[in-house]
């Protein structure tokens, strides 16, 4: 478990203060001094920041803001790279140009020493490396921000890939997350335009996502789940996991010797059929989404290997997504209504798949959906690119301040990625036609006798529960009313503002009455010549007249300052 605290004052610990200054230095370097001013954290900037050369800053500032954000995240290290990659999957929170730029983020982290990897393995598995493995290459063949991978051999002769988590990465992530949380709190407090996106909640969700990614036992469980789903499918292969040598920080799995799907020349040289690979790969992903509701969320070409006989093999299960049956059916309805150009129904299903803080303008949304369909659907189906269609749909969702669940977006993004890979392998591939049987099967499944019986049983069960609980709940409410323990709380929005206005009005009226009383009283005193006199005029009357004049001027200034007489 990650240990993250909300830090109210930066520098509660020395480690946080040093890292905080490093982060601010990078922000300043990449031209985000305006953000530092808005957050009111200039006091944490060291004089050393001024040593960043003006020439370097001027070169950086020639880049777009999105490019500077990406570069800053890359320099800030693994936690921020992961945050950028997560934000690239949230078009409802991040503008399209920034989403595209963040999707380019790479883990530019140098590999750590073999001695550190050996120590972690021996500590985690409780035995010397020589007793655990027949051989173990000291040079890693893959390295990333969270861990790196080594080739090794088990005692039974099985050749495996051993993924070892980077030493100290958990501490680094915890410190960065604490600072991120503090910065998010400052953003919510000081930048009104960003506050509605709830940055604190985003960081909290990100922390939960990262917590899963740094626990290799969860990745092992995902691999085993995929293997069960496709156990009887000879066209796909999932590497085996070796649980005896797998822990939270070490993952041992079968080493797969295949060809990356992006290496077209090697595929052709090996005599593999690109069209067969394309169809099988698309079906592999579509089965994940529509049949099982559990899918690989990062199917980029580097994670897809092709084995002999055109078998598809997936790697790196650190990022997965899941969608329940109702969400899958709603997504199918969305695709079906879009394909049949039903604008109103498409809008209704789109609202089912999203959430919002402020009620959207339904009429404007329908007009935008109509425009969206006009741009994509009045051409042959084989010419429709699913990736462009989904990206445009996500832009439409973002424009109307609708929020889409992260897993739904991951599913849509992965589908677009799969289509992109497929078109490289086979330029004539038709993703719409490939998806059609899955859509048809899901639509028909609603009318299957077993499904109808299941839905009826659930409906009857819920009705019986309601019939059982409703009288008890009513009796409980009646009892609370009799005992005067039930209170009704009503909230009138704008009531405080109205009360404040009434208070100002009554205060001004009272003030005016007091001034009028002072004027009348002082006039009577002057007429009555009440001593002491000053040149024959009552001194008390003069003081009262002066007081009334000052109060009158004060009231007039207050009214004029508000702009209303």
State yes or no: is 291 an active-site residue: no
Please report which helix (H) or strand (E) contains residue 169, including its range: helix 169-190
Q: Which tokens sit at 14?
A: 């020395």
Q: 282 and 434 in contact (C-beta within 8 Å)?
A: yes
SS3 1: coil
* Residues shown for the chain: 565
- According to the 3-state scheme, what is the secondary structure of 482-532? HCCCCCCCCCCCCHHHHHHHHHHHHHHHHHHHHHHHHHHHHHHHHHHCCCC
> Which of the 8 DSSP states describes residue 113?
P
Q: Which residue has the tokens 């917590």?
A: 211
Q: 221 and 232 in contact (C-beta within 8 Å)?
A: no
Radius of gyration in angstroms for the set of CA atoms belonging to the chain, rounded to a whole number: 34
Cis peptide before 532 (omega within 30 of 0): yes
Dihedral angle at the C-alpha atoms of 408, 412, 418, 419, nearest 10 degrees? 160
Q: From the candidates 298, 316, 336, 430, which is the catalytic residue?
A: 298
SS3 152: strand
Phi-psi region of 401 (alpha: psi -120 to 50; beta: other; left: phi over 0): left
Q: 332 and 442 in contact (C-beta within 8 Å)?
A: yes
> Which of the 8 DSSP states describes residue 47?
G
Q: 384 and 352 in contact (C-beta within 8 Å)?
A: no
Q: Residue 295: beta bridge partners?
A: 321
Q: Which residue has the tokens 């189906």?
A: 381
Rounded Cα distance between 311 and 236, Å, is 5
Q: What are phi and psi of 455, to 5 degrees?
A: -65, -40
Rounded Cα distance between 478 and 67, Å, is 63
Longest pairwise C-alpha distance within the chain: 122
SS3 452: helix
Tell me which residues are annotated as active site: 298
């Amino acid at each position: 478990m990650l240990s993250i605290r909300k830090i109210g004052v930066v520098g509660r610990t020395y480690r946080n203060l040093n890292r905080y200054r490093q982060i601010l230095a990078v922000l300043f370097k990449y031209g985000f001094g305006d953000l530092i001013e808005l957050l009111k954290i200039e006091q944490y900037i060291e004089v050393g920041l001024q040593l960043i050369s003006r020439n370097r800053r001027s070169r950086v500032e020639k880049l777009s803001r999105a490019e500077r954000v990406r570069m800053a995240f890359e320099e800030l290290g693994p936690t921020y790279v992961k945050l950028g990659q997560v934000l690239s999957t949230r078009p409802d929170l991040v503008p399209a140009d920034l989403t595209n730029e963040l999707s380019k983020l790479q883990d530019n982290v140098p590999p750590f020493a073999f001695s550190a990897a050996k120590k972690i393995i021996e500590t985690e598995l409780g035995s010397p490396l020589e007793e655990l493995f027949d051989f173990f290459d000291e040079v890693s063949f893959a390295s990333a921000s969270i861990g790196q991978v080594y080739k090794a051999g088990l005692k039974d002769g099985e050749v495996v890939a051993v993924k070892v988590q980077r030493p100290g990465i958990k501490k680094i992530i915890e410190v960065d997350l604490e600072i991120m949380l503090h910065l998010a709190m400052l953003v919510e407090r000081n930048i009104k335009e960003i506050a509605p996106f709830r940055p604190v909640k985003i960081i909290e969700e990100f922390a939960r996502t990262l917590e899963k990614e740094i626990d290799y036992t969860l990745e092992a469980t995902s691999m085993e789940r995929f293997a069960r789903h496709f156990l009887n499918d000879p066209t796909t292969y999932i590497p085996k996991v070796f649980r005896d040598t797998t822990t939270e920080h070490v993952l041992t799995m079968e080493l797969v010797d295949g060809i990356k799907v992006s290496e077209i020349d090697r595929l052709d040289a090996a005599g593999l059929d690109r069209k067969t690979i394309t169809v099988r790969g698309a079906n592999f992903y579509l089965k994940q989404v529509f049949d099982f509701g559990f899918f690989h969320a990062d199917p980029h070409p580097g994670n897809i290997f092709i084995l002999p006989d055109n078998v598809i093999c997936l790697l790196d299960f650190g990022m997965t997504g899941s969608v329940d049956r109702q969400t899958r059916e709603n997504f199918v309805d969305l695709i079906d209504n879009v394909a049949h150009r039903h604008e109103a129904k498409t809008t209704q299903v789109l609202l089912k798949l999203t959430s919002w803080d402020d009620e959207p303008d339904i009429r404007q949304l329908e007009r935008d959906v109509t425009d969206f369909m006009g741009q994509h659907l009045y051409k042959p189906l084989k010419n429709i690119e699913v990736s462009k269609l989904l990206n445009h749909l996500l832009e439409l969702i973002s424009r109307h301040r609708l929020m889409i669940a992260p897993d739904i977006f991951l599913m849509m993004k992965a589908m677009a990625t799969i289509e992109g890979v497929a078109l490289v392998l086979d330029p004539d591939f038709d993703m719409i036609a490939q998806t059609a049987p899955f859509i048809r099967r899901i639509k028909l499944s609603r009318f299957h006798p077993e499904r109808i019986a299941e839905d009826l049983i659930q409906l009857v069960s819920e009705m019986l529960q309601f019939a059982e609980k409703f009288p008890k709940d009513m009796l409980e409410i009646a009892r609370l009313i009799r005992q005067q323990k039930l209170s009704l709380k009503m909230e009138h929005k704008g009531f405080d503002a109205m009360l404040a206005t009434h208070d100002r009005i009554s205060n001004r009226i009272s003030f005016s009455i007091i001034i009028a009383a002072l004027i009348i009283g002082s006039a009577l005193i002057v007429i009555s010549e009440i001593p002491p006199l000053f040149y024959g005029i009552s001194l008390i009357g003069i003081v009262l007249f002066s007081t009334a004049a000052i109060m009158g001027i004060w009231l007039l200034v207050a009214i004029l300052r508000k702009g209303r007489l």
